[in-house]
Chain A
């Protein structure tokens, strides 16, 4: 399991400039905090802390 930390943002999946791979499969997970809806989007995920 790899933790993504601030400043270590990774390009998801295979970058277009790299050689294509036969299989791409990934999933990330976190504690859910989503409360937005189609009438409003949260801009400040970090401010709930």
Chain B
């Protein structure tokens, strides 16, 4: 039997308070009038004590025992855009090189052989072409998808400006997941952070790509939330829903490089705008019966409801970088995550010269995989540390001065967790999640059924 310590947390709900065991990410929502009695002992604590060991082992496995199953591949250093907040160095994006097609094919062949040694039978690893702008090296990317279609599940994150009809036909015919980016409901807002090197707008071209993807089930759009678009997030949700975007992300700007910090919203402003956008997405769902899932928030809900069902591996500690996935730069160098490309200290080695397992154990990777919220203040004393994971290590290191520091949006994550618990208390959490999100999951604790 394991000792269970439940900490009360005010979630801002009229009826319920959350009781959380931070060490196992177990929670219960308890009527405010019964908190003292519940903490004194009784059926809930007895039931939890029976399970606490299992939950602790589950969380440990999720945090420390995963093997990589995906690679974010940058097939080029170049980008045709110069976004304000990009985490990749400007010189690399402007003057960099493509990975030649033969090198890309050789890289995927080596990765295929590596994954054969670590992936469970019957499960394919993922390759996500990522940027800079991968479609600047379209010929090589498409050749790789054609050559390795049986070996990997493919994804492509693109700014959408080069996603023409023939590219969409190629990608959708091969069930490639496609991610786009759009920052505003109108051009003037998008243009304030996303534009070409000469300052030209790309808003209309992204909308055209979105229209062409309508009806495809595996696409999404990312909005990077900054001071420039924060007051328009509700309109973004309306635009995405009207255009039948299945999934979006309303991400806080990553503050790894100084350029991004100039458009960083304050936590309370971010929380207010984000929650208003979530509320609007729910209204639209109730009005139309069609969901627009805001995936980065859905992931917080999953972290609470089913920790091992997370799809995003930023909001967990250690994060997924260097252990659930890693990134391959266009010159063959390996990094824990795309966020670290351009930061030499985190380079693990070169795919064409070194063994993958050895690179995963390199000092650069261990800096990231060793970042554990249980070990540094204030996170180690935070009740919700295993719901948020204190993202992102790149921000902590570059913006806040070390891996033992918080990320850029501590207060925002606290508000998200409170909001998520209020939805659970009101019985509407599923409205914010993908249909069938829990297919294949086991219900390992359900107090209401006892």
Contact = CB atoms under 8 A, between A and B. Distances in A.
Interface of A: 1-6, 9-18, 20-45, 47-49
Interface in B9-48: 15-16, 26-31, 34, 38, 44, 47-48
Contacts of B444: 1, 27-29
Given A34-B310, A40-B72, A28 B441 contact: yes
Given A37-B320, A41-B179, A42-B155, A22 B34 contact: yes
A43 B445 contact: no
Contacts of B299: 36
Given A13-B429, A16-B428, A43-B247, A35 B313 contact: yes
Nearest to B310: A34
A49 B446 CA distance: 29
Interface string B145-173: 00000000101010000000000000000
B391 to A, nearest CB: 7
A21 B43 CA distance: 14
Interface stretch (B96-104, B189-197, B361-369, B431-439): B431-439
Given A36-B313, A38-B249, A38-B254, A29 B441 contact: yes
B296 A39 contact: no
B439 A4 contact: yes
Contact of B442 (A15, A29, A32, A38): A29
Interface of B: 15-16, 26-31, 34, 38, 44, 47-48, 51, 55, 58, 61-62, 66, 69-70, 72, 122-124, 126, 128, 130, 153, 155, 157, 175, 177, 179, 217-220, 222, 246-247, 249, 251, 254, 295-296, 299, 305-314, 319-321, 324-325, 337-339, 391-392, 424-430, 433, 435-436, 438-449
B337 A23 contact: no
A49 B130 CA distance: 23
A6 B272 CA distance: 35
A34 B391 contact: no
B249 A41 contact: yes
